[in-house]
Amino acid sequence: MDVQTNSVGRQDFSVNRDIFPAEIETKNNISLLEFGQSEKQLINEIIYNDGCLVLKGFKTDVQNFQSFIDAACGGSLVYTERSSPRHAVEGKVYTSTDYPKALPIFPHNEQSYNLGFAMKLAFYSQVVAESGGETPVCNTRKVLTRIDTALRNRLIKEGYLYVRNLCSKEFRGGIGLPWQDVYQTDDLDVVKEYCRKNDIQIEETKNGGIKTIQRRNVIAKHPVTGDHTWFNHLTFFNFRTLPAPMIANLKRFFDIADYPNNTYFADGSELSEDEVTHLQSAYQAEVVARPWGEEEVLIIDNMVTSHARNAFKGDRKVLVTMSESSTWEQCMPDTDQYLNEGF
């Protein structure tokens, strides 16, 4: 652990990069915003190289948190093409999720299915749960190396399909978010134009719903470090990753083609139960679940660190904002090199 002196009132803070996530801690009640303005280079160097960073002991609130992200991490972004229930708290700060507390959320890299996505996510813990409620993280550079070679190579070569069946808010006979919430508009023509521009197939379905299909890659090349990483929602959105009672209800009430979310091989064939279990195990082998402390901030490099949420009891309030946009075009992997030589 290194002890360093910053320029914020000549206060001391400590840096620990021997653990994952890395930590920076102050015991001197330094403002998070002022620290971000002073130590932007250090913060980003740790995030890009270590994958994630916890900030402990800093004085902050919601406005200070967003201003810190604007100053240190490239500015906050709007949450688009939504898949998780969450609501805005202030500005571009959102609840991390409104998903039921009794259900865990599997590791994922935020919006990897979009052509454009955030490079960084920042979480701010305002209220710590009575038990559980951690935000587990895992290094997806390491997840990539754990996947069976034949399965990994097929997916790298072909990509995968992400299929959504979205109901209309006028007809809530389906489950999941309505398309009006996903795309933040009531105008279907606007949605169709968005899909056209973002390489998403769209078709209208019964009761005013829509089906969307998008083919995406499973690996990406980090635009700063050059590292290749397992960057996708293949496992997360596959129906077999849902809790067992939800799977049972899907099978009872829906045909598989009508599931709200599902993933397939690029040719439309299903992943087997064994294949999905193997992919889940690759993530789970790398997961680190660190308990939250009040007023702590966790910043992750979204391309190399996936995040999750454990089930919890009691009240919990963790806010999130996203920053520094990138695109798949900027992060295309060296696929042929990998298939011929490996990384």
| Beta carbons within 10 angstroms of residue 148's beta carbon | 13
Please tell me what DSSP assigns to residue 18: S
- Residue environment code for 172-199, b if the CB has 16+ CB neighbours within 10 A, otherwise e: eebebbbbbebbeeeebeebbebbeeee
| Cβ–Cβ under 8 Å, residues 295 and 60 | yes
Query: Residue 129 and residue 254: Cα distance in Å, rounded?
Result: 35
Q: What domains does the chain contain, in order, with CATH numbers? A: 2-141+289-326 (3.60.130.10), 142-282 (3.60.130.10)
Beta-bridge partner residues of 220: 229
| Residue-level pLDDT at 260 | 94
Antiparallel, parallel or unpaired: β 297-301 and 116-127: antiparallel
* Backbone phi, psi, residue 340, to 5°: -90, -35
Query: Residue 38 and residue 7: Cα distance in Å, rounded?
Result: 6
Query: Residue 335 and residue 228: Cα distance in Å, rounded?
Result: 10
With tokens 């999941």, the residue in question is 176
Antiparallel, parallel or unpaired: β 22-25 and 52-56: parallel
Q: Which amino acid is at 191?
A: V
| Residue-level pLDDT at 30 | 92
| Residue-level pLDDT at 343 | 54
**DSSP sequence for 93-156:** EEES--S-TTS-EEEE-TTTTSSEEEEEEEEEEEE--SEE----EEEHHHHHHHS-HHHHHHHH
Residues 124-167: tens digit of each pLDDT: 999 999 999 999 999 999 999 999 999 999 999 999 999 999 99
| Beta carbons within 10 angstroms of residue 335's beta carbon | 17
| Residue-level pLDDT at 342 | 61
With tokens 């910043």, the residue in question is 299
Q: What is the pTM of this model?
A: 0.91
| Residue-level pLDDT at 94 | 83
Q: What residues in the chain have per-residue pLDDT under 70? A: 1-11, 78-87, 96-97, 172-174, 341-343
| Residue-level pLDDT at 339 | 75
Query: Residue 230 and residue 218: Cα distance in Å, rounded?
Result: 6
| Cβ–Cβ under 8 Å, residues 71 and 39 | no
The residues, ordered by sequence, that sit 6+ positions from 289 with a Cβ below 8 Å of its Cβ are 134, 136, 310
Q: How many CA atoms lie within 13 A of 77 on its CB side?
A: 19
* Backbone phi, psi, residue 264, to 5°: -145, 165
| Cβ–Cβ under 8 Å, residues 339 and 149 | no
| Residue-level pLDDT at 8 | 55
| Cβ–Cβ under 8 Å, residues 203 and 187 | no
| Residue-level pLDDT at 159 | 97
Query: Residue 107 and residue 302: Cα distance in Å, rounded?
Result: 11
| Residue-level pLDDT at 197 | 95
The residues, ordered by sequence, that sit 6+ positions from 60 with a Cβ below 8 Å of its Cβ are 31, 32, 33, 68, 124, 295, 297
| Residue-level pLDDT at 9 | 42
Residues 280-297: tens digit of each pLDDT: 999 999 999 999 999 999
| Residue-level pLDDT at 174 | 61
Nearest CA to 127 out of 314, 299, 335 is that of 314
Please tell me what DSSP assigns to residue 53: E
| Residue-level pLDDT at 126 | 94
